[in-house]
Amino acid sequence: MATRIDVNLPGECAYSVRIGAGILASLGRNLRGMDRFAQVRDVLVITDDNVGPLYLGKVRASLADAGFKAADIAVPAGERSKSLDVAGEIWSAMAQMALGRDCLVVALGGGVVGDLAGFVASAYMRGVPVVHVPTTLLSMVDSSVGGKTAVDLPEGKNLVGTFHQPSFVCADTDVLDTLPEREWRCGCGEIAKSAVIDSDEFFFWLMDGAASLAARDAGVTAEAIARCVVFKAGVVAQDVTETAGVRECLNYGHTLGHAIEACTGYGAFSHGECVAEGMRFAARLAADAASGMDDGSLDAFAAAQDELLAALGLPKLAHGVDAGRLMDAMRRDKKARGGRLRFVLANDVARWEVVHVPDEVVARKLKEHLA
Ligand code: GLY
C-alpha cells in the first residue's frame, strides 16, 4: 500500500509524494496519468554510477511501458559531481539529444543527484520539470521535497542554486534495502531533527519507535518518511524561498553540523551524524542564548534529545576538530549574517528560534561541549 502526500505551496503547482514498497515499477504509469505529462515523450534520467546499476533498468522499463522515450546520464557518485562543470556537460548532452522544453528530467539517486538534476532542470531552456526518485533515507525525508537545488563552488558547498519544485516524488522504500548502514544513520539524523522541530507527538512517536527505525523496520520507516514529508511540506508552504524566517527551522543542528563536515573534509562523517552533533550542541547553547526557559527545562530537553539520538545510533561524535577551527568554519557559513553567527536554537520540542549568538558565547560553550 502506497501513501500519497499532496504538497500545496503558494504560487507553485501542487505535487504528490508517493511512499511505498515496490512503487518504482509504476513510476511511468503515474507520470503518464498526470495531465501535464500526458503528451510528453522525452525523459532524461540523471543518476550516478552507484545507483544506476541497481535501479536504472527498472526505471527505464517502467518509463518505456508508459510510452516515454528515456535517455540516461550517470555521473560519478559523490559530492564532486555537484559542480558547474558537470551541470554544463549535462546541458550540452541535453542539447545534443535535441531535448526541448517539453522534456522531463528524472533524478534517480540521493541528495547529490537530486540537487544536481534539480539545478540542471531549473535552468535548461529556462526550466523543464523534474521528478525526484530518491534512493537514500536522507533524500526521502528531506532533500527531495521543497525544491532546493544546488551545485558547489570551490569556495563552498551549495553556493549556486535555485528553487525549483518537483512535479512528483516517488519514494520506493524497497530501494533502501541496499543502503549502507552509515547512510541509514545519516537519514535518521534528519528524521530526529524534523521530530524535535515539529511536535511532541512526532518526538515521542519517534522515541518509542527509535530502536525499530534503527533496525530498519519497514512499517516504522515508511511512517517516519511520511511524517517528515508532511512536516517539511507544512514548513515550506509557509516560506517557500526561505525569506519569511520559517524555513530556517530546517537548519536546526546545521550550523555546527556543516562546520564539522567542512573541517573533516566532507565524507569522514555523514551529514546526518554531523547534524545530530549540531543538535546536541544547539540544545546546550540554548541554555545561554535562547530566551524564556529556565535551565532545568533545558537540561531535561537536552537529555531527552541525547537519548533519542543515541537510540537512533547517533551517539556523541568524536570528530576531533578543535573549537578554533569550528568557529572559523561557522563564520564562513552562509547562514552567518554580517559576520555574526546565527543558530536555530530549540529550547524544547517544537520551540525554536533563530538567534544571533555572540562569538565569545559560542566559543565558550563549544569548549565546554568538546571537553
Ligand atoms: N534541507 C533544508 C531545506 O530544504 O530548506
Residue whose C-alpha is closest to residue 17's, from 198, 142, 122, 150: 142
Pairwise CA distance, residues 185 & 273, whole Å: 7
96-150 pLDDT, tens per residue? Answer: 999 999 999 999 999 999 999 999 999 999 999 999 999 999 999 999 999 999 9
- What CATH class is the domain 189-370? mainly alpha
Work out the mean pLDDT of the chain and round it to a whole number. 95
Query: pLDDT band at 155, cuts 50/70/90?
Result: confident
Calculate how far, in angstroms, residue 145's C-alpha sits from the geometric centre of ligand 1.
8
Residue 198: what pLDDT? Answer: 98
How far is Cα 285 from Cα 79, in angstroms, rounded to an integer?
Answer: 30
The answer to whether 242 is a known catalytic residue is: yes
Please tell me if the CB atom of residue 261 comes closer than 6 angstroms to any atom of ligand 1: no
Mean pLDDT of 159-170: 97
> Per-residue confidence at 163, pLDDT binned at 50, 70, 90?
very high
Q: Is 158 a catalytic residue?
A: no
Burial class (CB in 10 A: 0-12, 13-18, 19+), 162: middle
CATH 1.20.1090.10 segments of the chain = 189-370
Mean pLDDT of 66-92: 98
The band of 294, judged by pLDDT with boundaries at 50, 70 and 90, is low
Q: Would the CB of 249 count as within 6 Å of ligand 1?
A: no
In one letter, which amino acid is 290? A
Q: Measured from the CA of 247, which atom of ligand 1 is nearest?
A: 5
pLDDT for 353 equals 95
Residue 336: pLDDT above 90? no
Q: Given a cut of 60, is residue 292 above it in pLDDT?
A: no
- The per-residue pLDDT for 231 is 98
Q: Which residues pair with 325 in a beta bridge?
A: none
Ranges of CATH 3.40.50.1970 domains, the chain: 3-178
Asked if residue 297 has pLDDT above 80, the reply is no
Q: How far is CA 257 from CA 252, 281, 344, in A?
A: 9, 9, 12
Give yes or no for a contact between 240 and 246, defined as CB atoms under 8 angstroms apart.
no
- In the 3-class helix/strand/coil scheme, how is the chain assigned residue by residue? CCEEEEECCCCCCCEEEEEECCHHHHHHHHHHCCHHHCCCCEEEEEEECCCHHHHHHHHHHHHHHCCCEEEEEEECCCHHHCEHHHHHHHHHHHHHCCCCCCCEEEEEECHHHHHHHHHHHHHHHHCCCEEEEECCHHHHHHHCCCCECCEEECCEEEEECCECCCCEEEEEHHHHHHCCHHHHHHHHHHHHHHHHHHCHHHHHHHHHHHHHHHCCCHHHHHHHHHHHHHHHHHHHHHCCCCCCCCHHHHHCCHHHHHHHHHHCCCCCCCHHHHHHHHHHHHHHHHHHHCCCCCHHHHHHHHHHHHHHHHHCCCCCCCCCCCHHHHHHHHHHCCCCECCEEEEEEEEECCEEEEEEECHHHHHHHHHHHHC
The CB of 148 under 6 Å from ligand 1? The reply is yes
Fold of 3-178: Rossmann fold (3.40.50)
Whole-number Å distance, alpha carbon 254 to ligand 1 midpoint, is 10
Query: Is pLDDT above 60 for 267?
Result: yes
Confidence (pLDDT) at 295: 54
142 lines ligand 1 (CB under 6 A): yes
> Does 77 have pLDDT greater than 70?
yes
Instruction: Kindly report, residue by residue over 339-370, the tens digit of the pLDDT.
Output: 789 999 998 999 999 999 999 999 999 999 99
Parallel, antiparallel, or unpaired for β 104-109 and 151-153? unpaired
Q: For position 209, what pLDDT does the model report?
A: 98
Q: Which of 250, 334, 344 to mutate to test the pocket of ligand 1 (most atoms within 8 A of CB)?
A: 250
At 220-237, the pLDDT tens digits run 999 999 999 999 999 999
Catalytic residue status for 254: yes
